[in-house]
Structure 1
Amino acid sequence: MSDLSPLTSLSAALAATVAAAAPSLVSVHSHRSRASGFLWKPGLVVTADEALADEGEITLALADGRTRPASIVGRDHTTDIALLRVEGAEAPVMPMAAQVPPLGALAVIVAADQGTPVAALAMVAKSAGRWRSLRGGEIDARIELDTRLRHSSEGGLVLDSEGRAIGMAVRGPRRTLVIPGATIARVAARLESHGRIARGYLGAALQPVKLDDGIGAMIMSVDKAGPAAAAGLRQGDVITALNNAPFSGMRALMRELGPDSVGAVVEVSALRAGEPVRMALTIGERPA
């Protein structure tokens, strides 16, 4: 019997951890999509943007069995964070911790399936520093869990071994990713106050092209009221470098057009009818 007591203690601790977090979880129903979310502040729910339908009504199923309509406060597809507003949800708020779990630590995913709490045990398979998503969002830590995430659990809470909420579970290419608490705090606060996250805007449609000494970006069209036009760029120009750094691809460019880029002045090197030209471009804010 004594050999089983450590497992019994662990089981009881896990059950208590899940029970403490479960009242903060909600099911998110949008069009044909089913996901999870959690009370971030009174009346405000954080969920995964990718799991949220682009149209139709949104309904939340609360842990106490009630359902409530919700509206979108704001969403940021680059960090996979969406913020919803709901009235009449008296569920407790689960505070987010800024801690990043070490490699090999245990974590618990707590989510909701049609209002019913669900849980999964996982191990931290990767714990690293800041990174940028393929859509250009800045994520404060790279946390991967060694488990696959069911669709309805996307947007659920990730708890560490002390029961602290350290982030939100989202679906990655091969493993579950965790959007850290620090990222949620930063992005959700901006969504609450402004409804969106500012992103850099060049005002030009670009197409990668091969050059003799690398790659460039041909301007296929120009927004007449945008930054590219104001800088003097034209349709047919081929951008070869920004601030003397050779153009390295569209993904790299999108990563550079984050919130901090708005208002920055960059020196653009381009080819116009085969001849080099240079000009200063002030990065604008992408229209809503």
Structure 2
Amino acid sequence: MTDPSATNLSLLSSAVAGVVARATPAIVSVHSHRSRASGFVWKPNFVVTADEALADEGEISIELSDGTVRPGKIAGRDHTTDVALLRIDAKDSAKDIAPIKISPGVPMLGSLSVVVAAERGVPAAALGTVSLVGGRWRSLRGGEIDARIELDVRLRHSHQGGLVLDASGDAIGMAVLGPRRVIVIPAATIERVAGRLETHGRIARGYLGVGLQAVKLDDGVGAMVMNVDKSGPSAAAGIRQGDVIVGWNDDKISGVRSLLQALGPDSVGSVAEVTVRRAGEPVRFKLTIGERPET
């Protein structure tokens, strides 16, 4: 008599193997300088990978699922959301690379997930569970992530940039290493950021043109202006070195980080009302937020 539990386990095993097999044609290996990562074909000629795992210099090669290696170029990268977009440097690349459709869905807490990556061109997979699900959040670098999804799974450094599949086999995002945990960069964030990188080559960020240092005040916290870019927006508005920023658009600031988080892509060109303390007295300025220069 067949053991029902063995049958169920076999069915689960076959199901997991099936969803992995359907995803592997879109999985690639990315080699940049001395760094290796995984990635996936987002659109014909374009690969998405983890920015953190991508070297800052050197040539890039992309090994496809069929074993062929193509040169790649950086189309754009965003350090704040850990999304990098690579262009496959081959005229005929669109003919034999099938992009994978990523789903904007968010998995249920405790559900199974599979990370499909590549190790020197060979497909790799890891099975785990969704250990945390939350709403929109900001990374330590100020990037806006559309959903907080964490996985209980082991992830090698070279597997960053791999696809995360939910229990239905839908690709829901990209796996990256966060502080002491594996984080999923969700599909909504990838589509938004990669789309801008494809069009503009970079993600615009707001720029005040000042160096700031957090300071404690009797009634809260402030951001002291340590230096001023003479050609920047703050200098043009009249803000000086030694001023302490305490308010932003009629709200008290809660620290330097909260102030910098207000400088997202949509902030460029907008006008903000900034309140500073100068020699102990409040002074208000209207400041037009600039675009952070590339460095």
Q: TM-score range by the shorter chain?
A: over 0.9
Give 1:33's aligned residue: 35
Residue 266 of structure 1: aligned partner: 272
Structure 1 residue 236: Cα displacement = 1.5
Cα offset, 1:246, TM superposition: 1.9
For residues 213-246 of structure 1, the C-alpha deviation after alignment (integer angstroms, 9 at most, x for no partner) is 2221111221122110111101111111112322
Q: Give the unaligned 5+ runs of structure 1.
A: none
Alignment of 1:34-73 (within 5 A): 34-73=36-75
> Which amino acid in structure 2 is aligned with residue 179 of structure 1?
I
Count of matched residue positions in the alignment of Structure 1 and Structure 2: 288
Instruction: Tell me the residue number matched to 2:87.
Output: 85
Letter in 1 for 2:8: P
Match of 1:232 in 2: 238
Report whether the alignment pairs 1:212 with 2:218.
yes
Aligned partner (choices 191, 194, 198) of residue 197 of structure 2: 191
Q: Where does structure 2 lack aligned partners over 5 or more consecutive residues? A: none
Residues 41 and 99 in structure 2, CA contact (< 8 A), matched pair in contact too: yes
- d(CA) in 1 for partners of 2:37, 2:292: 28
Any idea what SS the aligned residue of 2:282 has?
Answer: strand
Of the candidates 151, 156, 179, which is equivalent to residue 150 of structure 1? 156
Report if aligned partners of 2:78, 2:84 keep a CA contact under 8 Å in 1: yes
What residue in structure 1 maps to residue 20 of structure 2? Answer: 18
Match of 1:241 in 2: 247
Q: 1: CA distance between counterparts of 2:187 and 2:12? A: 25
State the one-letter code of the partner of 2:150: E
**Alpha-carbon contact 1:135-1:254 (below 8 Å) kept:** no
Is 241-250 or 131-140 further displaced after alignment?
241-250
Give, in whole Å, the separation in 1 of the partners of 2:218 and 2:265: 33
Percent identical pairs in the alignment equals: 66
What is the CA–CA distance in structure 1 between the aligned matches of 2:21 and 2:188, rounded to whole Å? Answer: 24
Q: What's the CA shift for 1:261?
A: 1.4
Per the alignment, in what secondary structure is the counterpart of residue 82 of structure 1? strand
Between stretches 118-127 and 246-255, larger displacement belongs to 246-255
Q: Which amino acid aligns with 1:243?
A: N
Aligned to 1:5: 7
What CA deviation, in whole Å up to 9, does each residue of 1:169-224 have, x standing for no partner? 01111221101111111111110000011111111111122222222111122112
Residue deviations 1:118-155 (CA, integer Å, cap 9, x gap): 00001111112111112111111111111231101100
- The CA distance in 2 between the partners of 1:212 and 1:127, in whole Å, is 38
- Identify the residue that residue 165 of structure 1 maps to in structure 2: 171
Alignment correspondent of 1:178: 184
TM-score normalised over the length of structure 1: 0.97
- Tell me what 2:293 maps to: 287
Per-residue CA deviation, residues 219-278 of structure 1 (Å, 9 max, x unaligned), is 122112211011110111111111232221222122211112112222111122232211
SS in 2 for 1:191: helix
2:113 is aligned to: 107
3-state DSSP class of the match of 1:9? helix
Paired residue secondary structure (1:26): strand
Shift of 1:84: 0.2
Secondary structure, counterpart of 2:183 in structure 1: strand
Q: Distance in 2 between matches of 1:187 and 1:249?
A: 26
Contact 2:114 2:127 in 1 (8 A): yes
Taking structure 2 as the reference length, the TM-score comes to: 0.94
Q: Distance in 1 between matches of 2:136 and 2:245?
A: 29
2-structure distance, mates of 1:94, 1:6: 29
SS in 2 for 1:93: coil
Q: Is the 8 A contact 2:222 2:256 kept in 1?
A: no
Question: Which residue identity does 2:192 align to in structure 1?
Answer: R
- Is the partner of 1:251 in helix, strand or coil? helix
| 2:163 counterpart letter in structure 1 | L
Q: Give the AA of the match of 1:23.
A: P
Can you list the C-alpha shifts for 1:90-138, whole angstroms capped at 9, x where unaligned? 2211111111111111111000010000000011111121111121111
